[in-house]
Chains A and B, each alone.
Chain A
Amino acid sequence: MQPFAYSEPTTLAKATGAAAANADSRYLAGGQSLIAAMKLGLSAPAELVDLARLPELRGIKVEGNGAALTVGAMTPHAEVAASMEVGARIAALAALAGGIGDRQVRNRGTLGGSLANDDPAADYPAAVLGLAATVNTNKRQIAADDFFKGLFETALAPGELIMSVTFPVPKKAAYRKFRNPASRFALVGVFVAQTAQGPRVAVTGAGSRGVFRVKSMEQALARDWSAKALESILVPASELQSDLHASAEYRAHLVGVLAQRAVAEA
């Protein structure tokens, strides 16, 4: 690993200040993606700004009489998975967090890190987009529909810090993931939700431009919330990824199957 400078600021202002002062710096959350990338030389920041000493970035809050949950960016996956608040209000989110990687990864990896990283096969992006969540940063609030910009690309400006994510509580929701057995990431993952604004279907692991919504499925579910309503809907393989793990056609098939199973489960 390349040498780098390291700081562990104890105030938000110092953290964002340190990042602003050095264009070649990166925030360090759980390190489960960043350290791995640095070991491989894929990333070589000059400075790491560790977010571990900022308790305000951690924890789970119930908002507005239970209408929404706000999860701090530094909350580890294991904490979301085990949270009674999340389990009672958005069980699909707790289950999704509990299915990320393995126990060791879930003890370190965080919500904010997963979203900032925006791996096209990551699980959280499907929940954030599927639940129409809001990403709260130190500068603004970003709607899920505006946050994800492609493979490993987000709307975050350099140095912009994710503070938390607010998830509106849906009427019902479910996540179904076909796990890549080697990497544990989603070969395909489908998050479905019946929200106040109508049904949403978000797909991760499959899109050639990252996580995406399937509007044709959402329209069908608005008419009839049932697995059957999705039976004849195909996602075009031309917009999906093809790699050594699965062809685009196979992924297209999985999107349909998983979406139906998720609707049946929700």
Chain B
Amino acid sequence: MKIPFSLTVNGKPVSTEIEPRALLVEFLRGPLQLTGTHVGCDTAQCGACTVLVDGKPMKSCNMLAIQAQGANVTTIEGLAQGDALHPMQAAFRKHHGLQCGFCTPGMVLSAVGLAGQVKQPSEAQIREALDGNFCRCTGYHNIVKAVQEGLADMTA
């Protein structure tokens, strides 16, 4: 049986009805057509489906949509302002922090969620913080550089 469901996605209020068993990622990619959120493993391992829920990175394949009732959800589509990339996206582009791009939406949101948590995190702290995001292409080196600069630019 469907139940009423309201939340804010990328700054816009959404009010609808959903099946309790719908995963958050299914709701985002299906009815909302926000297909930038990727499904890699579908078993809470890879982090490709990471979105921000009330500013905190979470794996949208491992939570029910209804668990985001009333929350503020940010997906990759919510970062850029028109044609202007978000500082974290711009840093990923500048530092070649992506190759195939499959992991990138989750990686970028996980990184954005770090802002304000630690001042100027070290390389080791960034690697540790991105523990839940797998990339099969880049070897992480450029991702870490991008995150360092992206975080600095976000607070600049």
Q: Kindly state whether residue B78 has any CB partner on chain A within 8 Å.
A: no
* Chain B CB within 8 A of A121 CB: no
Stretch at the interface among B27-35, B60-68, B85-93, B141-149: B60-68
Chain A interfacial residues counted at CB < 8 A: 25
CB of A196 within 8 Å of the partner chain: no
Task: Knowing A6-B3, A31-B64, say if A105 contacts B59 (CB, 8 Å).
Answer: yes
- A103-B57, A107-B56, A107-B58 given; A1·B63 CB < 8 A: no
Q: Check B57–A52 contact: CB distance below 8 A.
A: no
What are the interface flags for A1-40 relative to B under an 8 Å C-beta threshold, 1 for contact and 0 otherwise? 1111110100000000000000000001001100110010
Within 8 A of A (CB), among B63-90: 63-64, 66-67, 69
| Chain A residues whose CB sits within 8 angstroms of the CB of B14 once the complex forms | none
Question: Which residues 88-119 of B have a CB within 8 angstroms of A?
Answer: 110, 113
Instruction: Indicate if the CB atoms of A36 and B62 lie closer than 8 Å.
Output: yes
Given A35-B63, A103-B131, CB of A5 within 8 Å of CB of B57: no
Contact A52 B42 (CB under 8 A): no
Q: Which of B53, B113, B132 contacts A105 (CB 8 A)?
A: B132
Mark interface residues in A93-105 (1 if CB within 8 Å of B CB, else 0): 0000000011111
Q: Determine if A201 is an interface residue (Cβ-Cβ < 8 Å).
A: no
**Residue of A1, A28, A103 with most partner-chain B CB within 10 A:** A103
| CB atoms of A104 and B67 under 8 A apart | no
Q: Does A48 contact B (CB under 8 A)?
A: yes
User: In the complex, what residue of chain B is closest to A6 when comparing beta carbons?
Assistant: B20
Annotate B1-38 by CB proximity to A: 1 below 8 A, 0 otherwise: 10100000000000000011101000000000000000
Q: A5-B1, A31-B64 are in contact. Are A105 and B20 (CB under 8 A)?
A: no
Listed by A's residue number, 6 A-B pairs whose Cβ atoms lie within 8 Å are A3-B20, A36-B44, A102-B131, A102-B132, A107-B58, A108-B59
Binding site for B on A (CB under 8 A): 1-6, 8, 28, 31-32, 35-36, 39, 48, 50, 52, 78, 101-105, 107-108, 184
